[in-house]
Structure 1
């Protein structure tokens, strides 16, 4: 993942700030979920996080948020409290405050997907 972020930084697809915070967040995700870094879903979610962070810091949030039905499904999951706690840890590690709802819905969905992936990998072992 470190190489991926170095390439994104070099290509100016993300800022130095996003790069540095994402490296810290990867450490958090490793301790919380233990996902392999070569997993496509993991790479996609963390890359999205870096790009979303830059948009948020520049006050350029996306205009259209995640479908409300999908968010409702996440909030109704029996593990919703755990997922939201992890989401808060991710936001804190990224130093993201006052996240627009349109961006936050996608960030929550990514944490939810990674949480589900982590548990599905555990049951395969």
Structure 2
């Protein structure tokens, strides 16, 4: 599967409608972003079960701000609608493969239980 470009309008539906979504926040003027692009594209061809999305931070400044992007490239990984990985900096092919393998190997029952516990704790602190 090739990489897809997503926008503020398509970000939510993309994350919500797919099991695993990787998102590369990049900009055309960013040299590390340009060096990372072929690695990201190659991984997208290898992992048909993962959605590889790209966000142009220049065109989508609001989305980049909402995602708290302060350095590019930044890679985010979502699994079952949960942000499970976020890291700035370009990865080499083996590092990207490690991230993908780790995301695929997550025990999502445990992750969802942890997220629910955090939400309950935050609610208790508010009230």
TM-score when scaled to structure 1?
0.29
Higher strand proportion: 2
